[in-house]
A and B are shown apart, each in its own frame.
Chain A
Amino acid sequence: AQKITQTQPGMFVQEKEAVTLDCTYDTSDQSYGLFWYKQPSSGEMIFLIYQGSYDEQNATEGRYSLNFQKARKSANLVISASQLGDSAMYFCAMREGNAGGTSYGKLTFGQGTILTVHP
């Protein structure tokens, strides 16, 4: 079963508008972490934002915010005031497992969403 699902292969947004990239996850662990990364055409992975499963408040980092709905197992990324430089592939990822466990530390990635920002 897919652990991380990103259902939007591609998204388009007008410059200066906000956009939401969807991510749902599946885990039976109580402790887990959710990450969003941006991957431009150069291939580097740029960390955007992190949400821990026990964090009660939604994470925010500048123009990025994470809409964390634990009961629905969703962790959508919201980018406000889109810029042309935001055009890239975006990945949602999850780390599950407890510290000290054999599977701890592995990141599982979603399929990715290609975001295109139009001027």
Chain B
Amino acid sequence: EAQVTQNPRYLITVTGKKLTVTCSQNMNHEYMSWYRQDPGLGLRQIYYSMNVEVTDKGDVPEGYKVSRKEKRNFPLILESPSPNQTSLYFCASSQSRTGSSYNSPLHFGNGTRLTVT
């Protein structure tokens, strides 16, 4: 089944403890991206990657890191999490190298709910 898989689904951590949220897609997609979803703010892009070893900042990159060493994986790293990073995180991928198009929609994972205390 074609899908974007995120792990873990739920994560509770403390301020300053480094964590990684994994994302993997099995559709051989070029483009991958991370979003955070907060009430009233919708989906905001954190980072994206158009190809292996190519990553760039989205709208809210502060406090996050990413890497794209393999085409299928795009982990999100929080080196020193803070309470304002408590959010629902989504990984997404698309066959379109630029992010999304009429014939190559964006596919989302089922999310990771992160709580930082």
| A and B pair up | no
